[in-house]
Structure 1
């Protein structure tokens, strides 16, 4: 999932986990050493009990385990970040600005979009319910007509509600069929674009087989 690693909340969660782990690893030595009085230690009157020695050994092993887990966690996160930076995830992620919308933006989107596109530095603008890297909406009750028969989906079909120019803005490639277009008013409520994973899960042999496929949600 990209969400945890690509937003401030995700980084704060990871930082909190590392901080708590570090505190847990160092808490016992601090408490243990603070329990001794320097004068007693200097006079050589420090005694060690069997129970205390066992407890110290257990805590040392526990600290090593926590330290190893912390090192492994940092390594995994680092590799995930490297993967996200270098992997081809299917859409443009650089030079993209995400702005939360509200009812005012939705009601005046056409005017806002036209004003944005007047800026020569803005190449495209679009509106969507979710960002490509965010959690998509679930549609557990979708149906698709395949070979003349309406087939009920046996799995959830995550989806995203998007506006025209969504694929253009994110640099996504349409493998088969066409993009959403303002020339087709019915696209707003009746058109779907499936990704290749959805095509495979529907049992279709190729993306071309999905073109014109009737679907319901």
Structure 2
């Protein structure tokens, strides 16, 4: 799933640049700035998932349900805190962020609105990152892959469709919409996994404790 996500991210950048150039060079520059800025928000969460995955995997294999749930809970809260900080920065200080890259007037006009719209998707992205990590730790690679594909694969088609009716803003709106869709999908899969794979471990844990 991680390899597919990285490959899709590259294709997404190429496709979005192709759409943005039809509006203006400034729009392409704004997207380039956003892509650099979002690294400081998403990279810590990505690092968190790499650290959480072996902990979740160990506790799932050891039938330690409460410890597995604790690892999931703490991962969600930490990721939420990181994403909340990122959201506040993008919402409250978009001009300052853009000026780090010496944005001109045309880029500021596009970029301030773009960063604020895209930032709406940061909080839902918590579920799109952490829950697939749980799925992978349980050995369920396909559900994890499905969420990652939805997060990255849905953005470009949405951007194309929305740009035809909403213009440049439609491209920015596609980012939070894709994150919300992926979060919803991840939540549905988690509810299924919890019912059929995690809850039954409770009984096994009790049985092991009595031996």
**TM-score, structure 2 as length reference:** 0.25
Q: Which has the higher strand share?
A: 1
Q: Which has the higher helix share?
A: 2
Q: Report which structure shows greater RCO (CA 8 Å, sep ≥6).
A: 2
**Larger Cα Rg: Structure 1 or Structure 2?**
1
**TM-score, structure 1 as length reference:** 0.25
